[in-house]
Chains A and B, each alone.
Chain A
Amino acid sequence: EAGVAQSPRYKIIEKRQSVAFWCNPISGHATLYWYQQILGQGPKLLIQFQNNGVVDDSQLPKDRFSAERLKGVDSTLKIQPAKLEDSAVYLCASSLGIDRVNTEAFFGQGTRLTVV
């Protein structure tokens, strides 16, 4: 079975520019997560979708970050305008669901963003 697909793999932008990341989860997975991982730290959840609804976006900086999951399949995360501190790896993950049996999460390769 195909894994979680993310693009692009790498992106370098100047501060105040905008950037978008794309994620295609494993087929049939209802739950989709976006994480931010700063070098040397564990991943931090930005937003969690269940189908096309938001379950948790409490740590998403909503003044500059936005995310959508139209039709409950693939998802886009956008940053506008970017700041230097947004330099990180952005990870997308998916799982079948959020109940006891279906929560195993699978991750994509990530997008490494450098803001200069």
Chain B
Amino acid sequence: KQEVTQIPAALSVPEGENLVLNCSFTDSAIYNLQWFRQDPGKGLTSLLLIQSSQREQTSGRLNASLDKSSGRSTLYIAASQPGDSATYLCAVHNYNQGGKLIFGQGTELSVKP
């Protein structure tokens, strides 16, 4: 059974700092891994999708990496801004479970001005 874990659960950093969010998963049989952002009271916004054959994806100040063999992904945020404050969720699409999308618990990020 696939399990997804995100560390840390919460993170507070000063504006301008570079930071890394971690995601680990137990079953490497995945189609892809997706990072989402969730603002309070809102739905999920897709940030990046990394296919299982890829090592990383970049979008603006965001860079996500994937090491499928070790079951790890990281989301790197460069030059953080107060507007980056949100909860970040990673999710894996499971190959062996009909593409079931399984989420971690999320990392709540606060960027202080």
Q: Which residues of B contact A (CB under 8 A)?
A: 4, 6, 31-32, 34, 36, 41-46, 49, 51-52, 89, 91, 93, 97-106
Expressed in whole angstroms, the Cα–Cα distance for A47 and B89 within the complex equals 19
Contact of B43 among A48, A91, A101 (CB under 8 A): A91
Contact for A106 among B42, B46, B97, CB less than 8 A: B46
A45-B100, A91-B43, A98-B99 are known contacts; what are 20 more A-B pairs with Cβ within 8 Å?
Answer: A31-B99, A42-B6, A50-B98, A56-B97, A56-B100, A91-B44, A93-B44, A93-B101, A95-B99, A99-B31, A100-B31, A103-B99, A103-B101, A105-B46, A105-B93, A106-B46, A107-B45, A108-B43, A109-B42, A109-B43
Bound form: Cα–Cα A56–B4 in Å: 18
Residues of B within 8 A of A91 (CB): 43-44
Q: Which of A6, A50, A98, A112 has the most CB of B within 10 A?
A: A98
Q: What is the bound-complex CA distance between A95 and B98, given in angstroms?
A: 13
Smallest CB gap from B9: residue in A: A40
The answer to whether the Cβ of A43 comes within 8 Å of any Cβ in the partner chain is yes
Shortest distance in angstroms between A32's beta carbon and chain B's nearest beta carbon?
Answer: 11
Q: Is A110 a contact of B98 with CB atoms below 8 Å? A: no
- Residues in chain A within 8 A of chain B (CB atoms): 4, 6, 31, 33, 35, 41-45, 48, 50, 55-56, 91, 93, 95, 97-101, 103-110, 112
B52 cross-chain contacts in A, Cβ below 8 A: 100
CB pair B89–A42 under 8 Å, yes or no, is yes
Give every chain B residue within 8 A of A43 (Cβ-Cβ).
44, 89, 103
